Amino acid sequence: MLDANRFKTLKAMLDALPCRVVVPSEWKDFFTRRGPLTSLGDEYRRFVRQHFPSRALLELTTSIAAIPRAGAKHVVLMKDLSRQGVAFLHAAQLFPGERVELTLPTGRVAYTIVRCLRHNHRCYEIGAEIE
């Protein structure tokens, strides 16, 4: 069961920060998606992904040497998650090898970025694996 105090604290942090992500217009159903994702033809995954449309708090913990960044907190939009990874939308580009911590209602988890796909000037779809 979720800790009510942790949930309230996370909600307060999320409400205090702006979400700068601009969801692509063709994703009208983004926040209504539920259940497992279906795999594409040649896609092989170890674990089933589940739609998880919600907000989360992201904190960059380790950047790559070529791109120094400050450790600010950002609101991101969760897309989906599985047992070993997540996909989320962020207003800024992140690069493979960077490390982040995501705070979700269930707790805080460290991830390593593995991919980043640009959808528009304020929407990058980022894939990350649990460290």
Q: Which of 64, 62, 122 is nearest to 92 (CA)?
A: 122
Rg (the chain; Cα; Å): 15
Decide if 93 is inside a domain. Answer: yes
pTM: 0.86
Domain of residue 59, CATH code: 2.40.10.220
The pLDDT, as a whole number, for residue 19 is: 94
Q: What is the pLDDT of residues 86-117, one digit of tens each?
A: 999 999 999 999 999 999 988 899 999 999 99
Q: Does residue 29 lie in a domain region?
A: no
Q: Does residue 64 surpass a pLDDT of 90?
A: no
Predicted confidence band of residue 45 (pLDDT cuts 50, 70, 90): low
Q: How many CA atoms lie within 13 A of 118 on its CB side?
A: 7
In a domain, 60, yes or no: yes
Q: Which of 9-18, 48-57, 99-108 has the lowest mean pLDDT?
A: 48-57
97 domain residue, yes or no: yes
| Distance from C-alpha of 28 to C-alpha of 45, rounded to nearest angstrom | 26
